[in-house]
């Protein structure tokens, strides 16, 4: 079960080691990713088909499904399943639709007006993970804000199933989003395809989506070697649960396992105010693991996880801010007093009845979030992620008289006389 540490017995070096995750110290992942990227750049579609055969165990005749094939697959799911996806779509749309606002014009001096206008990123690429769990919810989380932002072209890549197609849930989400084509490519090769373009897969301006360590590394490498940007480093998933004596151990265990079942490289951290809580949660973990279909995957993630015993909730918050979790759950009656102390977290779940899985699927907030400590400097995906904000300014004759001498003086002191002349010539 969870390894048990007492925070006051750990050195700073111990803590730094505990909070670091998904490192690539030997550069093995980076080397493999660079090779994949190079093959996709050189061989395009042929390399994508080769990687599909190697990694997905499927021989692809073509690298995409079109509208008719998507419609056929969407009809294979039940009406209850369709309705659940529709409710998730509606809640996600309702939450994100408030994020697109027009800013007011500011007159910084008489006759000098400045403002910003929003423009959508024209071509975006959405990566939808496959592997052991297919995530239609991720397609909604990325596709909905892309649609609200007004992106002209939305390119979707996802690994093919053994059938050489996608499942009906992803297909139905494509219909909800009015996306008529999906590309059958996964892993680092999909990221490379969207970054450089192939005969089948269009080149995009920005790439979105979570994935394993290879996908995350490919995104960071691509951003460094091209003019294609990324949403954030979003690698293997993680949760940190803060629990005190008011917490229900069964709820805490369920939340930890909900994260652990994502994959063996996921991490679930418990920060508790007593050893009694940790022991109780470990007991519930054993009970719940026994009936989980993905128990073997969850066990590997739990082995990669731990519990920290702290003196009080304030100490718990300090550790959490150092860890900077993707998901933070406050399973305590005191959650209202703690929220103001949160400085580093991707998304926060408050109280005993707010499971992280609600945010993963249907509460409305986005589940594409920064991992591996990047919550210190990145936000989760939102409509803002899919737009650019361009500044404008207009200066009247009065404004030029007001601001002209200031610009002339500043330009002259920097030795940029052409800058000065661009003002002087207009007076």
Q: Where are the alpha helices (DSSP H) in 275-391?
A: 275-289, 295-303, 313-323, 335-338, 356-361
Structure tokens at 105: 């014009």
Tell me: is residue 189 an annotated ligand-binding position: yes
332, 246 contact by CB (below 8 A): yes
Mark whether 238 is an active-site residue.
no
Q: Where are the alpha helices (DSSP H) in 290-416?
A: 295-303, 313-323, 335-338, 356-361, 397-413
Query: SS3 breakdown of the chain: % helix, strand, coil, rounded to 5?
Result: 50, 15, 35
Query: Taking Cα atoms as reference points, which of 383, 351, 349 lies closest to residue 363?
Result: 349
Query: Taking Cα atoms as reference points, which of 94, 62, 95, 89 lies closest to residue 175?
Result: 89
Question: Choosing from 326, 331, 356, 408, which is the catalytic residue?
Answer: 326
Question: Choosing from 39, 96, 327, 331, which is the catalytic residue?
Answer: 327
CA distances from 319 to 118, 306, 314, 417, 422 (A): 38, 13, 9, 53, 54
DSSP reduced 3-state for 13 = helix
Tell me: is residue 327 an annotated ligand-binding position: yes
Cα–Cα distance measured from residue 188 to residue 171, given in angstroms and rounded to the nearest whole number: 22
Tell me: is residue 127 an annotated ligand-binding position: yes
Tell me: is residue 419 an annotated ligand-binding position: yes
Tell me: is residue 360 an annotated ligand-binding position: yes
Tell me: is residue 320 an annotated ligand-binding position: no
Tell me: is residue 4 an annotated ligand-binding position: no
Cα–Cα distance measured from residue 271 to residue 258, given in angstroms and rounded to the nearest whole number: 17
Mark whether 412 is an active-site residue.
no
Tell me: is residue 237 an annotated ligand-binding position: yes
Active centre residues (catalytic): 326-327
Give the annotated binding-site residues for Zn(2+). 259, 262, 360, 419
Annotated binding site: 127, 189, 212, 237, 259, 262, 327, 360, 414, 419
Which residue ranges make up the annotated binding site for NAD(+)? 127, 189, 212
Show binding-site residues for substrate: 237, 259, 262, 327, 360, 414, 419
């Amino acid at each position: 079960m969870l390894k048990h540490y007492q925070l006051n017995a750990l050195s700073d070096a111990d803590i730094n080691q505990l909070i670091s995750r998904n490192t690539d110290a030997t550069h093995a992942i980076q080397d493999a990713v660079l090779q994949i990227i190079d093959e996709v750049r050189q061989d395009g579609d042929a390399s994508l088909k080769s990687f599909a055969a190697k990694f997905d165990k499927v021989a692809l005749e073509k690298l995409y499904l079109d509208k008719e094939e998507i419609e056929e697959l969407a009809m294979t799911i039940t009406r209850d399943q369709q309705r659940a996806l529709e409710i998730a779509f509606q809640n996600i749309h309702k939450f994100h639709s408030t994020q697109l606002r027009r800013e007011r014009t500011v007159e910084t001096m008489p006759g000098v007006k400045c403002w910003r206008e929003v423009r959508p990123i024209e071509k975006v690429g959405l990566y939808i993970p496959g592997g052991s769990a297919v995530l239609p919810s991720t397609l909604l989380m990325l596709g909905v804000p892309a649609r609200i932002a007004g992106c002209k072209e939305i390119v979707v890549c996802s690994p093919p199933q053994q059938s050489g197609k996608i499942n009906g849930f992803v297909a139905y989400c494509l219909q909800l989003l009015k996306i008529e084509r999906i590309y059958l490519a996964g892993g680092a090769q999909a990221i490379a395809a969207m970054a450089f373009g192939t005969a089948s897969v269009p080149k995009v301006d920005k790439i979105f989506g979570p994935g394993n360590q290879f996908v995350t590394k490919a995104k960071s490498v691509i951003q460094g070697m091209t003019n294609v940007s990324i949403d954030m480093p979003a690698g293997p998933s993680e949760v940190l649960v803060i629990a005190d004596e008011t917490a229900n151990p069964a709820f805490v265990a369920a939340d930890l396992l909900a994260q652990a079942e994502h994959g063996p490289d996921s991490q679930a951290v418990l920060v508790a105010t007593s050893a009694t809580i940790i022991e109780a949660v470990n007991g519930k973990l054993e009970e719940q693991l026994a009936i989980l279909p993905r128990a073997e995957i969850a066990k590997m993630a739990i082995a990669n996880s731990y519990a920290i015993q702290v003196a009080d909730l304030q100490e718990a918050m300090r550790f959490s801010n150092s860890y900077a979790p993707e998901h933070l759950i406050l399973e305590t009656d005191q959650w209202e007093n703690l929220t103001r102390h949160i400085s580093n977290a991707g998304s926060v779940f408050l109280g005993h009845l707010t499971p992280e899985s609600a945010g993963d699927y249907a509460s409305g907030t986005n589940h594409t979030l920064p991992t591996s400590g990047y919550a210190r400097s990145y936000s989760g995906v939102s409509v803002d992620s899919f737009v650019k904000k361009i500044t404008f300014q207009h200066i009247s004759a009065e404004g030029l008289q007001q601001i002209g001498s200031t610009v002339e003086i500043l330009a002259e002191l920097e030795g940029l006389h052409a800058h000065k002349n661009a003002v002087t010539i207009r007076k």
